[in-house]
A and B are shown apart, each in its own frame.
Chain A
Amino acid sequence: MTEPLPAADRRGTEPFDETIHAPNRLRICAFLDAMNSAEFSVLRDMLGVADSVLSKHLKVLQDAGYASVAKPTGRGRVKTWVSLTPAGKKAYARHVAALRALFDG
């Protein structure tokens, strides 16, 4: 029985990143890659999902070391800010390169 080839070998390109590949996580990464940081509610509204759904996706990204979460204290209600880590930006760039390579054939 032969092992399935890694995605990269099948396509001869950079591999898909399974952590980023999920549609909502891909949109989160695409949104955060274009900026330094975004507030939790902005991400939630962009995706059109419940707080709990976004929290789960962010947890996956955090566990992979791709996203960081900060809760700066100050006046008023504490808000949660999310940003991509350098590792997350690299992984996202690799994933987009793999998508483009596949799309361009």
Chain B
Amino acid sequence: MLQSLTKTYGNASSVHAFGQQARAAVDRARREVAALIGARQNEIVFTSGGTEANNLAIRGLAEAAQQQGRHVITSAIEHPSVRGVIEWLEKRKWEVTRLPVYENGIVRVADFKAALRSDTVLVSIMLANNEIGTVQPIREIGAFIREGRDASRNIRLHTDAVQATGRIELNVDELGCDLLSLSAHKLYAPKGVGALYVRRGVRLIGQNVGGHQERERRAGTENVPGIIAFGEAARIALAELAQRANYVKELRDYFEGQVRRKIEDVVFNGDPEQRLPHLSNISFRFIEGEGLLINLDLKGIAVSTGSACSSGTLEPSPVIRALGHNDELARGSIRFSFGKDNTKQEIDYVVEVLVDAVARLRELSPLNKTLVTR
């Protein structure tokens, strides 16, 4: 990547030698990213990140398919970058079915089958949720769509795999998806790069126009250094996938065991088995997430929360609400995310700080104390 900033700094669309060096490096990266998900090189479209990949996928498919129908099926727990685009379609006279999730945070295939209509043209359901990590039954949904596919009924399946990138094995043929969104920074590459997998033969209308890059699907000069880093990160992630997954799962399970033992009145959100290995989402009763977040931050620990305050909205996490939990549990939810470079000593430190902060905030809370007004 450094070399692309100092030596091979050509524009990958230029004909001269500098440009061709950059082109070769981008193509190499494209092969690595394709290999990570079991795709072909020419099925990868580089983007500026997961959000752009989701925009391109849904808007690009919707535009291509709107003559066949205007019904889309999605889930109630999509990332804002999918939720927002679906709402955008809804304002343009598309009809939307949002599949519920149950207490385990997973959609049911039976609900999906029941939601299918003759004018359904697009399905967009995330592979794994970004707040609670639950893995959705994309494989089953993909298989069902493929079985029913014929000339008159050509439903396309998009899955947002950003949160799952590099965390679990991804294979587009096993999943049976037509489009899949990826983000580079989830693989420890720099921010500002992502990709959309587009299955060969799928018609997609580019949403950035005015250039021939990425086979007309994404006009604009490629972010060559970012793409090179993405390719290298994908190569390493694929090689170390199982090792990294086992390691972070061990840390995560150890952390949850400690929390369960040392803190009362906690709710572990999402299915305990069918979820990504590196995420833990916990609601702490009687307290609000952002107070906990800042207390941890002051001790050098970075977490995120479903609290409304943090997201800048008035509504607490729609994901935790979708599990059937009340506002208090949604506001008190914290996402802990573990990485390959975390250690068990760090987990012990987090637990120590957490026990103390939760106790202090609960002592402060009126929710667990009867009110006698005078």
| Bind each other | no
Give B contacts to A, CB under 8 Å.
none
